[in-house]
Structure 1
Amino acid sequence: MQGQLSELDIRSIFQLIDIGQQTGELCIESFDDQGQPNSWLMFFANGGILYAGRTNEQLERLQDILHPLNLSINWADVDLSNLAPLRPPEYGALWWLLENNHLTTQQARAILCRLIEETLFEVISLHQGQFSFRFRASLSPQLTDFSISPLVKRAVRQLQGWLQLHPHFSSFYDCPLITDPHQLETSSSLPSLLAMANGKTPIIRISRHLNRTIFSVADGLYPYVQRGEVQLSHPSSVGSKKATGPITGTVPRVVCIDDTLSVRQAIEMMLDTYGYEVTSIGNPVKALSLLFSLKPDLILCDVAMPELEGHQLCAMLRQAPYFQSVPIVMLTGKDSFVDRVKANMVGATDYLTKPFGEPELLALVEKYVGRGNPKRLAPGTLLEQEISATLNPESWSNS
């Protein structure tokens, strides 16, 4: 089952899944006002919903929701490497917390319900985009399932309340800021709400930290916004990764991982001409260790590779703190909706469809690391000499 949201609204899709007691995965993709893609993935079993979140969801949302519990967890030490590459990391982390007795079953179910409700609140108002439902064995293991109808009704009621706050509130990612902290020092109402009005924390994150719905947070801030005591900054792009230019005087470092020699050579030639420092790696297993030494600003990664598939490599890199913010662009010969969802699920920043030309490649690289420096000094060859034997499988010995 697939189609356009303009032809079948999301509530009707949920109703069909509920009535038909369907089991499978629902993928939804839409674009924001700036043309940036956003996508969500939801798992169902016999019509009940098991989990819902953005396809590129990592652990930030879960960490925010866990904040009121004051758990002592060093997330850098949490080993989630045994999870399947396309399994939602957030759901896997919730299971890890439950299995390691950081949460009770009741707490885990309540947190899971909150994750689902937040996602429904985000998607319920979408009228443009596309959806795809795949009938297949759903999420495993299963913590619990929730009846979709009551959750949708609650999301609709909250959305109706949210719409009453327009035009003051235009996005869940608006960041409230107290205009005059001294004026509100004596206020006894909503102290925790105002304490987070620092101009940097969006409404959706405030709601998680305070264990409140997005609408109730906005509704609590509304009187202060009306009186001008709190102002809202409106982000230019919601849910998208910001492009960052290179630091002055530095050369953006790009690593290309592709098992096809001709592709690596073409990318090296194009990017080197425009002043980028390019390293190509032919073997994904070797790449996994070399990347920690190279510390690239951008990674271009092929999808279909032997030994270690590109999605798996991306998922592994996203577990390391350093690579959680490094843009990773998947190079793929396919351009289907499902393939884009898979890329987003493992934390890929973007994708580039093969075959591509110089203009497409340069536009994408500039988007994430800015322009290169054609006048840069010739790079040293020491690192290249040290790792040249491992970069290209064509030079390996059969011994």
Structure 2
Amino acid sequence: MTHPELRMSNNILNEFKTCTQLQYNGSLNIKSTNGHQWIFFYRLGRIVWATGGSHPFRRWRRNMAQYCPHIDIDKLNLRKEDLEVKYWDYHILEILHKRQEIQREQIHAFVENTIGELLFDLAQQTNFVSASCDRSQEVILETPMSFTSANESMKQMQDSWKIWSEAGLAHFSPDLAPVLRKPEQLQQQVSESVYKNFVNLINGKYTLRDLAAKMKQSVVPVTRSLLPYILKGIVELVEVPDLPLLVTQVQTKSVASPARASNAPLVACVDDSPQICNILEEIIVSHGLRFIKIQDAIQALPILIQDKPDLIFLDLIMPVANGYEICTQLRRMSAFANTPVIILTGNDGLLDRVRAKVVGATDFMTKPVASDKVMSVVRKYLPVQVKHQLKRKRDQSHLKVCH
């Protein structure tokens, strides 16, 4: 059976070859025209780690579950600083190794699989024709625990692609998530037990790679088994956001408000702009409500899950994760199914408004932020007791005492 061949552009192919020949120490950074980035770290001309791609956190979680199943990821007590380094994923492995919680053999398997996945994704997503690359010696892993031959990795990537494409999957990314679109039609074609498995697993939350890991199978047979249903439109493959890790050190929350200790509604603002957060804080707190600000998109979900605000202002454009992705994740959690989520943006475009509705946003508010606009939205979606209402209650209480 013939299969589509991957064609490497000479500049990227030569970069990999040059790094090997020069016994390069540093990183090889590759960027595609659609914004994706892959970083391959070298030590003495061998690849010692790779990061980037569409789902770095999902990939890390999968590999931890596969190669270090005894580690409870949600109890790692990671700090914000641990995730800010360029090679945060490898850094965590180093920490666990120093704690003697994982062995060198586990790290080696982890590294090999990570490099293999990223080379495959790089090949498929760019086909090596629409990406640029550059070398940087700013980051060097001084004590790598695994050395991988770039030439051998390339050969394995080509073999993986051949298997993937010969299975009829060349046009599907393993980072897409299957979701059941026509349950009634499926129920007529499969047994009750198979149908239940579909409903439980094919729900748009797990990528093809995630499903394969859960089922302890290779991603090829798992995807191939879904292919007939995908071609019939019963199952659709959709893009899903990444799943950031929890951190123990969270963004400092705003205090200095009597409402902090009260039962007043809690309003959250997720925006990487300190100015926007401070303006919203002043408006919200001055009206007797509680407020928290989250300026790091990676921390947004953990903090929101912990504090469960009554209303969320969510910036549209942020590094790492945008407002659409965070809103999508929130709407998949029962605790936030009905929480008002207000998208903040500087662009009042129809397309943005439509997409905001698609991902489950409640409303849309354009910048600049102004008190009347903010409180109009708050009053619309929260049964709040704003400042004048609180004052009225105090006045009524005072009258009773005087009487």
**Structure 1 residue 44: Cα displacement:** 0.9
Q: Is the 8 A contact 1:49 1:145 kept in 2?
A: yes
Q: Is the 8 A contact 1:193 1:206 kept in 2?
A: no
List per-residue Cα deviations over 1:146-186 (Å, max 9, x = no partner): 11111111111111222234468522214165934983578
CA distance in 2, matches of 1:70, 1:183: 33
CA distance in 2, matches of 1:226, 1:323: 34
Structure 2 residue matching 1:294: 3-state secondary structure: strand
| Pick aligned residue for 1:372 from 345, 355, 365 | 365
Structure 1 residue matching 2:280: 3-state secondary structure: strand
Letter matched to residue 98 of structure 1: H
Structure 2 residue matching 1:64: 3-state secondary structure: helix
Does residue 131 (structure 1) correspond to residue 133 (structure 2)? The answer is yes
**Structure 1 residue 65: Cα displacement:** 2.1
| Pick aligned residue for 2:206 from 189, 194, 201 | 201
Greater helix percent: which structure? 2
CA distance in 1, matches of 2:95, 2:29: 25
Does residue 21 (structure 1) correspond to residue 23 (structure 2)? The answer is yes
CA distance in 1, matches of 2:54, 2:345: 27
Written as runs of structure 1 = structure 2, the 5 A alignment for 1:296-375 is 296=293, 317=299, 322=304, 344=320, 360=346, 371-372=364-365, 374=373, 375=376
Q: Is the 8 A contact 1:23 1:135 kept in 2?
A: yes
**Structure 1 residue 118: Cα displacement:** 0.8
**Structure 1 residue 348: Cα displacement:** 8.1
Q: Give the equivalent residue in structure 1 for 2:59.
A: 61
CA distance in 2, matches of 1:73, 1:359: 37
Does residue 183 (structure 1) correspond to residue 186 (structure 2)? The answer is no
Does residue 295 (structure 1) correspond to residue 302 (structure 2)? The answer is no
Structure 1 residue matching 2:377: 3-state secondary structure: coil
| Pick aligned residue for 2:160 from 158, 162, 168 | 158
CA distance in 1, matches of 2:16, 2:92: 26
Q: TM-score, normalised by structure 1?
A: 0.57
Q: Give the equivalent residue in structure 1 for 2:107.
A: 108
Q: Is the 8 A contact 1:225 1:231 kept in 2?
A: yes
CA distance in 2, matches of 1:226, 1:59: 26
**Structure 1 residue 381: Cα displacement:** 7.0
Percent identical across equivalent pairs?
14
Structure 1 residue matching 2:364: 3-state secondary structure: coil
Letter matched to residue 234 of structure 1: L
Q: Is the 8 A contact 2:317 2:345 kept in 1?
A: no
Q: How many residues are paired up?
A: 300
Letter matched to residue 42 of structure 2: F
Q: Is the 8 A contact 1:30 1:129 kept in 2?
A: yes
Note the aligned Cα RMSD (angstroms): 4.9
CA distance in 1, matches of 2:172, 2:213: 19
Alpha carbons of structure 1 residues 165 and 137: separation in structure 2 relative to 1, 3 Å: same
**Structure 1 residue 268: Cα displacement:** 8.3
Q: Give the equivalent residue in structure 2 for 1:51.
A: 49
Q: Give the equivalent residue in structure 1 for 2:69.
A: 70
Structure 2 residue matching 1:295: 3-state secondary structure: strand
Q: Give the equivalent residue in structure 1 for 2:237.
A: 234
List per-residue Cα deviations over 1:320-362 (Å, max 9, x = no partner): 554999977889xxxxxxxxxxx65xx7889xxxxxxx98566
Q: TM-score, normalised by structure 2?
A: 0.57
Alpha carbons of structure 1 residues 39 and 47: separation in structure 2 relative to 1, 3 Å: same
CA distance in 2, matches of 1:142, 1:50: 6
CA distance in 2, matches of 1:199, 1:239: 11
Alpha carbons of structure 1 residues 200 and 160: separation in structure 2 relative to 1, 3 Å: same
**Structure 1 residue 120: Cα displacement:** 0.8
Letter matched to residue 26 of structure 1: L
**Structure 1 residue 197: Cα displacement:** 4.7
Alpha carbons of structure 1 residues 118 and 212: separation in structure 2 relative to 1, 3 Å: farther
What runs of 5+ residues in structure 2 fail to find an aligned partner? 1-6, 244-265, 283-289, 307-311, 325-343, 367-372, 389-403
CA distance in 2, matches of 1:220, 1:110: 27
**Structure 1 residue 218: Cα displacement:** 2.9
Q: Give the equivalent residue in structure 2 for 1:286.
A: none
Letter matched to residue 149 of structure 1: N
CA distance in 1, matches of 2:346, 2:281: 19
Letter matched to residue 190 of structure 2: Q
List per-residue Cα deviations over 1:20-69 (Å, max 9, x = no partner): 2212112222255xxxx322222111211111121686543222223245
List per-residue Cα deviations over 1:61-90 (Å, max 9, x = no partner): 222223245325252442345648323222
